[in-house]
């Protein structure tokens, strides 16, 4: 009897190790897929060189906190506690760092004669979208009956998310798309080309698009209208709040990348509205991704 129990424990441990290895492999796949556009963007290569290290460190801390929250709704493996979510987040970030470093070295963007501060800066910047891809890889890349059962459990968790959880998911989606757009020079160029009327039209369009994506068009994972709340409550509590989060995320990302340094308030407002457009789309489709 004891030998049978010991054998079963060994089998369970072997299955657990296998599942974790599969989860890690899936996480690397997600890191490459989600990080590749930024890994092949020239502005991101230079960003790791000149970004202020204090801002980079703050961004790293916030990214880790975001990964912990995302692990609660998905993650590249099943978690049972907050401590597991923390371990999941650090594992996802480590995957993002390794995947980013490997690709950058293969591309010749990183070389051994570079100062170590430049190497670290470039890897850390690139690891943000890569770690995002790693943490959500389980939902995006999984297959099979067991994974579908797990996905159904995660979908139930999403449906039961509190109002604060809904806003967090919007912030995560906004951060991901804003981060991918903010380093490009086109954000500044579009801001200079726009008139105040263009800016107001873009804000209105962003809000309507956010509301339509969240409630109107029937995407998978689309938010269900909260019971007992009319259009006004939904519009103010979710759409306007979500767009406000998208703007705050956009402003923070622009500040992190130094886009707001030495720029007057009107230009900052315009750039924030421009970046707020993709950020609001990211906020709207967060449930599709997470």
The residue ranking higher by pLDDT, 223 or 35, is: 35
Check whether 100 has a pLDDT greater than 70: yes
Residue with tokens 């470093």: 101
* Residue 224 DSSP label: P
Predicted pLDDT of residue 3: 53
Predicted pLDDT of residue 227: 54
In terms of residues, how long is the chain? 290
Rounded distance, CA 281 to CA 213, Å? 8
Contact 44, 111 (CB under 8 A): no
Q: What SS3 state is found at 229?
A: coil
Q: Residue 13: which pLDDT band, with cuts at 50, 70 and 90?
A: low
> The dihedral of CA 256, 258, 259, 265: what is its sign?
positive
Rounded distance, CA 229 to CA 216, Å? 16
Encoded tokens for 141: 């890349």
Q: Residue 193: which pLDDT band, with cuts at 50, 70 and 90?
A: confident
Check whether 146 has a pLDDT greater than 70: no
Q: What is the mean pLDDT of residues 196-203?
A: 90
Encoded tokens for 42: 């020239």
Q: Where are the domains of the chain?
A: 1-150, 161-289
Predicted pLDDT of residue 133: 87
% of the chain with per-residue pLDDT over 70: 76
Q: What is the mean pLDDT of residues 155-174?
A: 73
Contact 170, 286 (CB under 8 A): yes
Rounded distance, CA 205 to CA 211, Å? 10
Check whether 250 has a pLDDT greater than 80: yes
238: number of Cβ within 10 Å: 23
% of the chain with per-residue pLDDT over 90: 21
Q: How does the average pLDDT of the chain come out, rounded?
A: 79
Check whether 160 has a pLDDT greater than 60: no
Q: Residue 9: which pLDDT band, with cuts at 50, 70 and 90?
A: very low
Of 92, 75, 76, nearest to 19 (Cα)? Answer: 76
């Amino acid at each position: 009897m004891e030998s049978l129990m010991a054998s079963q424990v060994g089998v369970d441990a072997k299955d657990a190790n296998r599942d974790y290895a599969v989860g890690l492999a899936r996480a690397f796949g997600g890191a490459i897929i989600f990080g590749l556009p930024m890994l092949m963007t020239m502005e991101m290569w230079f960003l790791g060189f000149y970004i202020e290290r204090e801002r980079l460190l703050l961004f790293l801390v916030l990214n880790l906190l975001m990964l912990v929250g995302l692990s609660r709704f998905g993650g590249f493996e099943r978690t049972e506690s907050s401590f597991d979510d923390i371990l999941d987040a650090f594992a996802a970030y480590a995957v993002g760092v390794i995947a980013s470093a490997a690709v950058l070295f293969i591309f010749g963007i990183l070389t051994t004669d570079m100062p170590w501060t430049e190497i670290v800066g470039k890897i850390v910047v690139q690891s943000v979208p890569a770690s995002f891809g790693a943490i959500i890889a389980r939902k995006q890349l999984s297959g099979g009956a067991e994974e579908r059962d797990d996905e159904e459990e995660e979908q139930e968790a999403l449906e039961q998310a509190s109002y604060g959880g809904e806003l967090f998911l919007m912030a995560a989606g906004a951060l991901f798309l804003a981060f991918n757009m903010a380093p490009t020079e086109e954000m500044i160029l579009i801001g200079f080309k726009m008139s105040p009327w263009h800016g107001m039209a873009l804000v209105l369009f962003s809000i309507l698009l956010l509301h339509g994506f969240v409630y109107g068009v029937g995407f998978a994972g689309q938010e269900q209208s909260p019971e007992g709340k009319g259009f006004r409550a939904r519009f103010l509590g979710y759409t306007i709040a979500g767009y406000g989060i998208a703007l705050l995320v956009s402003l923070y990302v622009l500040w992190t990348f130094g886009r707001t340094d030495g720029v007057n308030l009107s230009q900052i407002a315009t750039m924030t509205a421009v970046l707020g457009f993709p950020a609001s789309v990211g906020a709207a489709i967060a449930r599709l991704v997470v």
